[in-house]
Chains A and B, each alone.
Chain A
Amino acid sequence: GEDVEQSLFLSVREGDSSVINCTYTDSSSTYLYWYKQEPGAGLQLLTYIFSNMDMKQDQRLTVLLNKKDKHLSLRIADTQTGDSAIYFCAESGRGGSTLGRLYFGRGTQLTVWP
């Protein structure tokens, strides 16, 4: 199967770092993604990582991938109130009929307190 698991809630203080964790089961996934959903909006791609990498940094965002444990994390440095949103982890499907399909976790609601 292609189950993607993540915790539902995370609360942090403004200025702290946030770490959102995700586990996946399909070891053949080529890419792993983080999407962000702000209130009343659709999802927007934040960042992604290729499966042969173990880290990717993009400004305040750091993605860590532990392929052995099938664990993905998103670290947001200096978290701001504008980062409050739902964050979805997603993995790509295998080839064939699922090519192009993404498998999403349930989403982590990040709340940032001033």
Chain B
Amino acid sequence: DVKVTQSSRYLVKRTGEKVFLECVQDMDHENMFWYRQDPGLGLRLIYFSYDVKMKEKGDIPEGYSVSREKKERFSLILESASTNQTSMYLCASSSGGQGATEAFFGQGTRLTVV
């Protein structure tokens, strides 16, 4: 059974804290993605990666950074958490190359910044 695993389902952090959200996939996928999901706004892409040590900005990268030291792991970092980063965070992975590719999603991490 293929899996994308996010380290926490729920997280509460204080304003100004550095926050790490971890994501691991066991499918040997090249592509990994971090989205945030907010009511009425759908999914917005924060960062994505096509290979180890490679990253590209998505639509809303401000206030975030990422790390991909190993193929299976993609970490999202909130350098200094703020209340407007309270959201549901979804990690996804997919295989590379042409053709229709299915993106596999983790269960999500609901982050609350107080």
Contacts and interface: CB of A to CB of B under 8 A. Distances in A.
A106 B40 CA distance: 6
Contacts of A24: none
Nearest to A106: B42
Range class of the A interface residue count: 20 to 34
Given A88-B43, A100-B101, A101-B48, A42 B90 contact: yes
Range class of the B interface residue count: 20 to 34
Interface string B65-96: 00000000000000000000000001010101
A42 B105 CA distance: 5
A40 B6 CA distance: 13
A33 B100 CA distance: 9
B100 A48 contact: yes
Interface of A: 8, 30-31, 33, 35, 40-45, 48, 50, 88, 92, 97, 99-102, 104-107
